[in-house]
Amino acid sequence: MPLMNTESNLQDAVVAVLGQLRQNWNRMDLKAMAELWDTSDPNPFYLPEEVEEPLRDWDAIRAYWDKTMQMIPRLKMRIWDIAAIPVSEDLAWVSYQFHWDAKAEGYAKPVGADNRAVALFRRLPEGWRICRYVEAPLAPILYMRKLYENSVDKDFG
């Protein structure tokens, strides 16, 4: 039985996977997204913020990525506050925050938002891969508070 990664090794590995996730989004290379997932898993789970029902199979996930590429010609993401906690030898619970900016079909100006995500990672021979993923956006009342806070004139103090 292989030794369990130390938390720092796990943390480094997860940071690397999320760095690649960010690069894939920034390049709009959503075809490369599958490389970050355990695609041998017959029951993936993916819940992006703008989708009502979870995506529970590879056809649905790939269709979501394809539709996103059609609707968003440009996206930029940054990720921070990454925390990886081992659950077992081969599973880790990961949480992080991210910000995205996008030029999207149907919008005259770019849009963006802060968000949070949680994911279950599985260790495979090729490294840690995502097997479950959920985006957890702020509640509308928190978005509204941020809108009001960001609308204050800079010289008001």
- 145 in a domain, yes or no? yes
- 31 in a domain, yes or no? yes
pLDDT of the residue at 106: 93
- 1 in a domain, yes or no? no
Domain total in the chain: 1
pTM of the model: 0.86
- 157 in a domain, yes or no? no
pLDDT of the residue at 7: 56
- 155 in a domain, yes or no? no
DSSP assignment string, the chain: -PPPPPHHHHHHHHHHHHHHHHHHHHTT-GGGGGGGB-TT-SS-EEE-TT-SS-B-SHHHHHHHHHHHHHH-SEEEEEEEEEEEEE-SSSEEEEEEEEEEEEE-TT-SS-EEEEEEEEEEEEEETTEEEEEEEEE-PPPHHHHHHHHHHHTS-TT--
Q: Which CATH number covers residue 29?
A: 3.10.450.50
Residue ranges making up the domain that contains 121: 7-150
Give pLDDT tens digits for 80-137.
999 999 999 999 999 999 999 999 999 999 999 899 999 999 999 999 999 999 999 8
